[in-house]
Chains A and B, each alone.
Chain A
Amino acid sequence: MDQALFEFCLRMGDNTLVLGHRVSEWCGHAPVLEEDIALANTALDLIGQTQLWLGLAGEVEGAGRDADALAFRRDAWDFRSVLLVEQPNGDFGQTILRQYLFDQYQALMLAELVASSDARVSAIAQKAAKEVAYHLDRSRDTVVGLGDGTDESHTRMQAALDRLYPFVGELFGEDDLDREVAARGIAPLPASLRAAYDAALAATMDEATLALPDSRWSQSGGRDGTRHSEHLGHLLTEMQWLQRAYPDARW
């Protein structure tokens, strides 16, 4: 089995799965109907991309696990999602800021993955890149609108940025797995995306009149599964409940 490719697909698919589930928690709770629909649609795209990434992971593994088995039958320590995406929704501003921090990274990553040496990875990236570009348009605009909005919205957005920025560094982590997939031309080293990310973030926050925290110190432990936050377990409890209670249940 190609362990590196398998784990790489888990990192991509677990990020979209966990974020997709988080965003779906807004369904029926958003501030206005249009935002409710937008969040549900974003979640749907992310879950769709999850099916592609985890589907490929299952194919690479060759052990008969499909995307559903990987999503619903693994426990927290087998997840390879970054800590950023498992953070709770907080208020609407925090949800949108988390989305922007992720979308900006994902757009840069997918743009590179289009040229992956693995044709399957490239095909998924080409598909997902279009959807993520659309998400990024919206999350960026909304961050700017709320940051440069009322005193109340500005204060909330700044608080969200202060809270979430310490999870950004993990997106650019590097370990043996990253080095192997980079050497094989499957994916770029995440660190190689950092300069473009920082430039985009600085421009957005400037427009949003928000101040990026001085410290670049970052939490880590999600993408290698060594130290997820407690939030992931709670999320999985809810997301996996049906398949855990009634294995192989189907509509």
Chain B
Amino acid sequence: MVAQPSTDEIWAVLARVPDPEIPAISLTDLGIIRDIAWEGETLAVTVTPTYSGCPATSLINFEIETALREAGIERIDLRRQLAPPWTTDWLSQEGRAKLEAYGIAPPTAARGPEKCPRCGSTHVERISQFGSTPCKAQWRCKECREPFDYFKCI
């Protein structure tokens, strides 16, 4: 029998699984993996949804399972945990930087982007409170005139 990988090693495996809708960041960057624990031979992975209706949720579970199987883990118990509800405060610092580099302004407590992710201007305006995925809104830069996504702060 192969030795069980440590939970640290499993965190590292999941840190390499991209979010299916925003592949620039990983599932651990997104902060939706709440717990990883061995229960005997079974690995329990607790996942929390970003938005209750996010269509990526089932795909995310599939990607987690696939990555863990590739890492040699056979008995997996994926658990959904609703409370405490996901918050953008759980985005990692690295994740925020990756979002910005990808062209998505990271969430801010001020409920709007700090600056345009393309040109850095702070002259920005909201186009819509919603965007192409449940977690984003549409904004526009008044300097470079480019529209951009803003990661909603919840």
Chain A complexes with chain B: yes
With a CB–CB cut-off of 8 A, which chain A residues contact B130? 34, 37-38, 41-42, 138
* Contact sample, A vs B, 19 pairs, CB 8 Å cutoff: A34-B128, A34-B138, A37-B128, A37-B131, A37-B132, A38-B128, A41-B134, A44-B134, A45-B51, A48-B52, A122-B83, A126-B84, A126-B85, A127-B82, A130-B87, A130-B154, A134-B129, A134-B154, A138-B129
Closest chain B residue to A39, Cβ basis: B130
- How big is chain B's contact interface, by range? 20 to 34
Q: Which residue of A lies closest to B131 (CB)?
A: A37
Q: Say if the beta carbon of B54 comes within 8 Å of chain A.
A: yes
Chain B residues positioned under 8 Å from A124 (CB to CB):
82
Q: Which chain A residues have a beta carbon within 8 Å of chain B's beta carbons?
A: 34-35, 37-38, 41-42, 44-49, 51-52, 119, 122-124, 126-131, 134, 137-138
Tell me the nearest residue of chain B to A141, going by C-beta: B129
What CA separation (Å) do A41 and B51 show in the bound complex? 10
Interface of B is mostly: loop
Write the nearest CB–CB distance from A55 to chain B, whole angstroms: 10
- On chain B, the residues within 8 Å of A123 by CB distance are 82-83
Q: Which of B53, B83, B87 contacts A46 (CB 8 A)?
A: B53
**Bound: A175/B154 CA distance, A:** 35
Q: Are B52 and A131 in contact (CB under 8 A)?
A: yes
Additional A-B contact list (15), CB under 8 Å, known A48-B49, A127-B83, A134-B154: A38-B130, A41-B134, A44-B54, A45-B51, A45-B52, A48-B54, A51-B52, A119-B83, A123-B82, A123-B83, A127-B52, A129-B85, A131-B154, A138-B129, A138-B130
